[in-house]
Amino acid sequence: MFLAIVLVLAICGTIVLVVLPQPSAPFTELFLLGPGGNASDYPTNLTVGQTANVTVGVINHENADANYTLVVTLGNASVSSQSFSLANNQEWENSSISFAPTHSGMGQKLEFDLYKGSDPSVYRSVYLFLDVT
C-alpha cells in the first residue's frame, strides 16, 4: 500500500513538472543591428566626420516592468543618452543612433552601455570597434 502511494505521488509530481512552466531566470536582451535590420555589415570603416547609424534594441525578460538608460560613447565622448521603460516581454528599438568620429585612428571603441533602474553599474554592454581614416 505504501509503495502504491509513493508511486502515485511520483507520477503526480512528474505531471506537475511537465505541465506547469518553470519561471525563467530574469534577463534583458541588448543588441545591435546594421543596415537593413541585420546583425551584420555594421558601419565600422569610416572617415573623420562621416555620420553613421546603427539600430539598438532592448527586450525586457525581467518578469517585471523595468526602467533603463542607454548611454552611447565613442572613446571618452558621449554620443547619446536615452531613458525608457519597458513592460515584461516588451521590446524597444531605436534606429536613429547616429555617430560621427572626430579624429582618425584604428580600433576606436563605440560602446553601448545599458543601465537598469537606479543601479550605477552597467547591466549590459555591446560595442563596435571603428577604423577611422
Residue 63 has pLDDT above 90, yes or no: yes
Res 55: pLDDT: 95
Domains of the chain: 25-132 (2.60.40.10)
Q: Which residue has the higher pLDDT, 10 or 122?
A: 122
Distance CA 5, CA 123 (A): 48
> pLDDT, tens digit, for every residue of 86-129?
999 999 998 789 999 999 999 999 999 999 999 999 999 999 99
Round to whole Å and give the CA distance between 27 and 39. 20
How many beta carbons lie within 10 A of that of residue 130, not counting itself?
21
Segment 25-53, tens digit of pLDDT? 999 999 999 988 888 999 999 999 999 99
Distance CA 30, CA 55 (A): 11
Q: Name every residue whose Cβ is closer than 8 Å to that of residue 12 and which is 6 or more positions away in sequence.
A: none
